[in-house]
Structure 1
């Protein structure tokens, strides 16, 4: 087997295992790739003898990352947040870069290395921080907006840093400022060319590609645009990543933005994973272990500097103390672009390998601590705040003993629609939901909703579920709904409980658990569609309403069962709960021929006969005294296994 193939295979295997393990303990996938590189590198297993062999592929990952960044770059958003972006964001990047660069120069005596270290440590992790802010429902808070503004400016600042690092390494007699000026002129020329192409050519190209509705062609065209733009900037002596960023920014304002982003994401993530793996390979494990105490101290010191700088600038701008401290804490770590800059600096030999390993170690430690720091942000900064401010921290409102006639469990789209109609009719309601961000947004909009999980009995007691007259379970998670339903019936026997479910798989179980009415999404959607069709076909509205009411009162009895197809979900866990329809033709000498349905006792097999077709006649209501004959076609309803057994019984006995 080819050695390179074996290396890549082993690398993929260890990456898959580590990404799974790290995500299970809620750590970023970036750390998993770094650890995979450390394991595959020369210090542990030595699978990969020469990491430089993968450098070009890893560089493609950086190109696609910057292309995605360009797609997400929003000029209107930046203008709307300009005070925070160019005030707080620019101040943080400039001051942190300057302080860290001066400290590095005093230590190393090299301005080029000092600038690289300063720029690297000034950046924070956009990917990790934004994800954690979203998961902790802090993205829309003031400190969340401040953090996003700083990250936005940091992402912009990466671009000139990628231009400057190669210039620092150039062994030329021309002063760095002259080189930078020449690079800026080249950059302006490239930007003009790319913008012209993006405005006049690319929309027509993608319009023609979109007409063909061929996914692979769209993906190929996207990759080609990103790489051609990167190639153009490299041709002018600038970074490939800069060209990719400009290409993404050009297409970011087009109607194809979201499709491009979705198409490029799998390639970007895989290649970026490989890039971070190569960074891990370059980590000198002995240096890392020997300097672990310095690395830990570095994480704390860098975090404190960023915290104090953000707090100071935000304070001057008139932001609240708790928001300023919170934003500073969230930005304490080194970011993924820091690894990109370190890798680039190593390529141009601007940093010693030992120092690069220590910086990577600082980044790994910081990213590992980020989820914990953001989740516990309020409690960490509480000692820094006056007692009054700490007490006023915005937490999701908890149930406080309020009671209401109607209780809505789950405040997603369905729950909100229900609540809106109740409010319009002047009916008092109370809702609870376990999504903190949604609760805060809804409270701001005037909804009567509290934070809490409907699965917890103490929460149900706090909202007086034992006294409610009507309870609606709106989340379409059938297992959870069944669990909540049983808990509700244990404390309230008289309330009417309406349960929403995805389909009719657990309808019977829910009715047995005490539901007054179960409303399956799929069946209700079918009823609404039928009502529209019948209305437009001239059927009187009274007859339509009668039919709908009959279907609901019979718990959708006539609607259970469907004909399976190739795309039907045959999940073994669901299979026995599905109701299929299956037609069985009775040829000559079939066991069932000449027998009445009552004699066959099909109910014992959990099978229902929906109808019998005989020649041109169809019997839709058949009872126990109905006699089956040769060439009858019997329509059975039941679970897949029951239908299989029933068919065999009808034919062979």
Structure 2
């Protein structure tokens, strides 16, 4: 009664009343989400927690506080549905870009064995419990897979923050994640047939769905090689960042729409769009351009999931939810740890791999939402999955850090002391991910070529960043590490691992680009050695004051010309 009275009073305030009349629900909710996400994220950063958990909290606070109604946002659910759909599409597009066929070729044995074993054990346990509770077998299968999937977004980021992104535990986690990604795509295809949305024989419908999906992916791959890659090459030659970004978004939207039009879901279409460009030379450039959009829509997606959490049901089933979260965490940790030891990993990497994959993942949320649209699940089960996911993601960073003291304690008490040989496929490969103490060469003109050749002859690892597509293609063909990117973008420098580099050389004479890039480099690596070129004395002085070792083109040319002139006259004399 009092709540209704307060609500009526607030609605009479002119500003709020005007807002209810003139501001669309989508814009009002978006503003509220973004502002609250900023404040909650600042708190979590100080507590060293995952920001994804903060986005869940934002959704819970907004959904259960009545704030949207105070602002005149009545149609909250429709706005949330739009957020979630956009978030899923971009999430799947990013997954497609990050899905590396080259990594799969290298890790396929580990993915098939480790991922298959992890998913089978976890899904069997979760599905058996669901079957014991009286759920149909097809729902048990979906529930089993939902609980088997892990949060690769949180786990791989935690590996990076701990400096273990190229460790054996990270490689095993990546292999299992690759298997889970493939499984999710397959399940998206067969979900309508499995849950009875299609009429006819289930086995026949599943076979048809898988055939359609495979044909779509093959068609998308052919389109990428013979249609989209030449288009990207032509756009890249214009060197227009706006046109390149517009082209990428247009391609992803077009392929995603094609997937939806063929009744294969927008999610599969978005994944196919990302996969099309994942193996091209433009992959890293696309990642730098798409990252801001990805972060925004991922925020909206996780907030939209938080909006679906009902506090009343959480309180009512608090015991079951907490028990389920603890059980999922322990079972998944022990499963991955056991697989790692079976594959002869040392103790610490095995503990890290187990801790990193012990929660339910973001694709579990996507999957349960899609399944719930086809056949509604029990509300308490959906709430349990949502809360388990949020709590599990919050526990991952801390649990991975805790593996250090746990490893020391186990070693001290004589556990797992046997020496183990790392199986083939888990040792780091020579790639950008494994670079350290390397030189970054920005630009591959005559100066860049000479510097690269000299450093390679000295055995110094090098990575080249260039905006010339033909040059990048040739360097990649010759087996050199190269990125198609712009050094004035912080994302490109992050992909080049500038934080771990010893030196960076700006071999082009563009003063403006160098002046923009230097602060970005120093922000990530204050101790790095920077070399730059300058045409004029004023430019050389400014770059020197910024911390670069400057090669003054005019001065060097003058010295060279003086030397040549002296030589000419000495020969005459």
TM-score, normalization: structure 1? 0.61
Larger relative contact order (Cα-Cα within 8 Å, sequence gap ≥ 6):
2
Q: State the distance in 2 between where 1:239 and 1:191 align.
A: 13
CA contact (8 A) 1:104 1:114 kept: yes
Q: How much does 1:172 deviate?
A: 4.1
SS in 1 for 2:166: coil
Q: How much does 1:391 deviate?
A: 8.2
Q: State the distance in 2 between where 1:108 and 1:530 align.
A: 82
Taking the TM superposition and a 5 Å limit, the aligned residue runs for 1:264-279 are 264-279=290-305
Taking the TM superposition and a 5 Å limit, the aligned residue runs for 1:385-464 are 387-388=413-414
Q: 1:92 to 1:478 in 2, by over 3 A?
A: closer
SS in 2 for 1:238: coil
Deviations 1:126-162 (A, max 9, x none): 1111111111122222222212221222222221122
Deviations 1:610-632 (A, max 9, x none): xxxxxxxxxxxxxxxxxxxxxxx
Q: State the distance in 1 between where 2:550 and 2:325 align.
A: 58
Q: 1:287 to 1:57 in 2, by over 3 A?
A: closer
Q: Show structure 1 runs of 5+ residues with no match.
A: 395-410, 415-420, 425-437, 443-474, 482-498, 504-518, 543-653
User: Residue 351 in 1 paired to residue 377 in 2?
Assistant: yes
1:51 aligned residue (77, 83, 99): 77
SS in 1 for 2:133: helix
CA contact (8 A) 1:113 1:350 kept: no
Larger % of helix: which? 2
2:44 aligned residue (19, 22, 25): 22
Equivalent residue number for residue 14 of structure 2: none
Deviations 1:276-313 (A, max 9, x none): 11111111111112333322222221122212322333
2:549 aligned residue (525, 530, 546): 525
Q: State the distance in 2 between where 1:204 and 1:293 align.
A: 57
CA contact (8 A) 1:96 1:118 kept: yes
User: Residue 235 in 1 paired to residue 261 in 2?
Assistant: yes
User: Residue 263 in 1 paired to residue 263 in 2?
Assistant: no
Equivalent residue number for residue 562 of structure 2: 538
CA contact (8 A) 1:251 1:257 kept: yes
Q: How much does 1:388 deviate?
A: 4.8
Of stretches 242-251 and 166-175 in structure 1, the one that deviates more from structure 2 is 166-175
Equivalent residue number for residue 276 of structure 2: 250
Q: State the distance in 2 between where 1:524 and 1:206 align.
A: 34
Q: State the distance in 1 between where 2:547 and 2:191 align.
A: 62
2:159 aligned residue (133, 145, 168): 133
Q: State the distance in 2 between where 1:123 and 1:133 align.
A: 18
Q: How much does 1:42 deviate?
A: 4.6
Aligned length: 443
Taking the TM superposition and a 5 Å limit, the aligned residue runs for 1:199-210 are 199-210=225-236
CA contact (8 A) 2:86 2:297 kept: yes
1:298 aligned residue (324, 331, 334): 324
Equivalent residue number for residue 59 of structure 2: 37
- CA-based RMSD of the aligned residues comes to 3.7
Of stretches 269-278 and 34-43 in structure 1, the one that deviates more from structure 2 is 34-43
Q: State the distance in 2 between where 1:413 and 1:182 align.
A: 50
Deviations 1:311-361 (A, max 9, x none): 333333333444334322221111111121122223223322222111110
Q: How much does 1:530 deviate?
A: 5.8
Q: How much does 1:521 deviate?
A: 6.7
1:318 aligned residue (304, 323, 344): 344
1:181 aligned residue (193, 207, 219): 207
Q: State the distance in 1 between where 2:361 and 2:130 align.
A: 18
Q: State the distance in 1 between where 2:548 and 2:285 align.
A: 32
CA contact (8 A) 1:501 1:521 kept: no
2:312 aligned residue (286, 291, 294): 286
User: Residue 367 in 1 paired to residue 393 in 2?
Assistant: yes
CA contact (8 A) 1:326 1:381 kept: no
Q: State the distance in 1 between where 2:65 and 2:204 align.
A: 42
Equivalent residue number for residue 380 of structure 1: 406
Q: 1:157 to 1:392 in 2, by over 3 A?
A: same
Q: 1:336 to 1:171 in 2, by over 3 A?
A: closer
User: Residue 226 in 1 paired to residue 226 in 2?
Assistant: no
TM-score, normalization: structure 2? 0.69
Q: 1:236 to 1:292 in 2, by over 3 A?
A: same
Deviations 1:440-492 (A, max 9, x none): x99xxxxxxxxxxxxxxxxxxxxxxxxxxxxxxxx9689999xxxxxxxxxxx
Q: State the distance in 2 between where 1:109 and 1:257 align.
A: 43
Q: How much does 1:524 deviate?
A: 5.8
CA contact (8 A) 2:149 2:363 kept: yes
Q: Show structure 2 runs of 5+ residues with no match.
A: 1-18, 421-435, 440-454, 459-496, 502-520, 533-542, 567-573
Equivalent residue number for residue 175 of structure 2: 149
Q: State the distance in 2 between where 1:541 and 1:96 align.
A: 78
